[in-house]
Amino acid sequence: MNGVKALRIKIRQASANYRKEETTENKMTYPLPPLSTVSGALHSICGYTEYKKMDISIQGKFSSMRKKVYRDYCFLNSTMDDRGTLVKMKNESMLSNAFTQVASAKKSQGNSFFNGTTIQVHDESLLQEYRDLKVLGNKIAEWKSTEYKERIQNYKQEKNRLAEQKKTAEKGSNEYDEIVQKEKQIKAEEKEWKKKVSDYETSNYKVPISKFRSLTTSIKYYEILDNVQLILHIRAEEEVLNDIYHHIYDLKSLGRSEDFVEVTDAELVELLETDETVRSPYSAYLHYDDVKNRRIYTGMGPERLMFGTKYYLGKKYEIQDGKRIFIEKIPVVYTSDFKIRKTSENIWIDDQKNIVNFL
C-alpha cells in the first residue's frame, strides 16, 4: 500500500460553538467541528461554488465546556395587546433589527397597549397610530358583519332569482338574453364592489397594522468550548490541496462568525504505514465501519468495547437555490483514547504519529 499525500492543518480557537443543526431552543455544540463546517469553510476560502471531493480527518481537544446565556428576540407575526414589547418595523416584509420601540408591557399579564394599562410608552405618536388603526380595524370588522354581510346576501339572492328565471326562459329568446346580461352585470358589480372594499381595507388597515409587531424575549444559552485545538488532515486531488494550502490563512472563523481561528501550521505531508501500536492523545470523529470492524479500538485494548457518541455527518452536497443540500451522510463515532495496531486503506499516521482516519 503506497503512502498518500495530505494537507495537515493545525488550528487554535479561544472559544467556539459548532452548532448542532437540530437544536433551536438552546444552541448546543458538537465536540468538534462537523464535516460540513470544515468542508464549507475550505470551499469558501478557495472560492469554490460547486462541491469538490475531499476526505477529511478531524481530531482535537478542548479544555472545558460552559454555557453562555444570551437574550433571544422573537418577532411575532401579529400583535399581542397584553404582553411583550410593541414595535413598529421599518420594513414589515423583512424581520430585522430595523424597528422602533413603541411601548413595553410592565407585567407578565393584565397589560393593554390599547387601553394604556401598566405599560411604558416609548413613542407616544406611534402608540396613538397603533390605537387609531385598532379602532379602524374594529369598525371594519363590525361593518363587515352587518352592512357588508347584508349586501353580499342581496347579491346572492339576486343571482339565485335570475338563475330561476333563466330556467323557465327559452334559450336564444330575447328574455333569456336579457337575463344572461343582467347576471353578468350583477356579477361584475359584486366583483368591483368587493375589490373596492378589499383595496380600502388593505391600504388603510392591513398594510399599516402589519408594520406593528410584538417583540418577545427569552433567556437561552450557547454551549461554548474553550481553548480548542484542532488537527485536520485533508485528502483530495493535488489541485484542490494546493488551493487550500495557498488560501488556508484566509480562514478567519470556524463555527460562528465570532469564533475566530489561528492557523498555527499548514503543511503538505506524506501519510505513512505502520505495524506498530499507536495511541492517540486526542478526541476524534472515527469512521463507523473502522470502529465496527475493530480496525480502531479503545486504549483499554482490542477486546474491550469502544464507547462513544454516534453521529451522522453531512459530507457530499449539491447547491440548490443557493443552499447546500446534503445528499450523503456518513456515520461516525466521536470518542477519545483510541489505538490502532496497523494502518489500512482508510487509516494512516503522519510523521508526528497522529492517527489519520479519513471520513
All domains of the chain in start order, with CATH: 5-69+220-357 (3.30.70.2660)
For residue 302, the model assigns a pLDDT of 72
In the numeric block, the cell 499548514 is attached to: 266
Q: Determine the distance from the C-alpha atom of residue 32 to the mean position of all C-alpha atoms in its chain, rounded to a whole number.
A: 20
CA–CA distance, 279 with 226 (Å, rounded to integer): 24
> Does the pLDDT at position 269 exceed 70?
yes
Of 72, 9, 13, nearest to 227 by C-alpha is: 13
Q: Determine the distance from the C-alpha atom of residue 334 to the mean position of all C-alpha atoms in its chain, rounded to a whole number.
A: 24
For residue 264, the model assigns a pLDDT of 97
For residue 97, the model assigns a pLDDT of 61
In the numeric block, the cell 463515532 is attached to: 333
pLDDT grade for 3, boundaries at 50, 70 and 90: low
> Does the pLDDT at position 14 exceed 60?
yes
Of 63, 28, 33, nearest to 222 by C-alpha is: 28
Of 254, 289, 277, 266, nearest to 355 by C-alpha is: 277
> Does the pLDDT at position 1 exceed 80?
no
* Per-residue model confidence as pLDDT tens digits over 130-173: 999 999 999 999 999 999 999 999 999 999 999 889 888 888 89
Max distance between CA atoms of the chain, in angstroms, equals: 105
Q: Using alpha carbons, list the distances in angstroms from residue 80 to 86, 120, 342.
A: 8, 15, 65
Angle at Cα 21 formed by Cα 19 and Cα 25, nearest 5°?
A: 80
Instruction: Tell me the three cell numbers of residue 296.
Output: 480502531
For residue 326, the model assigns a pLDDT of 86
**Is the Cα dihedral 177, 180, 186, 187 positive or negative?**
negative
Share of the chain above pLDDT 90, in %: 70
Q: Using alpha carbons, list the distances in angstroms from residue 99 to 73, 87, 88, 89, 108.
A: 12, 6, 5, 4, 23
CA–CA distance, 347 with 340 (Å, rounded to integer): 9
The listed range with the strongest mean pLDDT (1-10, 90-99, 160-169, 317-326) is: 160-169
Mean pLDDT taken over the chain: 91
> Does the pLDDT at position 265 exceed 70?
yes
* 20 in Cβ contact with 36 (< 8 Å): no
Catalogue the E-assigned strands of 122-246: 212-236
For residue 94, the model assigns a pLDDT of 56
Helix axis angle, 174-201 to 149-168, nearest 10°: 160
* Per-residue model confidence as pLDDT tens digits over 341-358: 999 889 999 999 999 999
Q: Three-state SS for 56?
A: strand
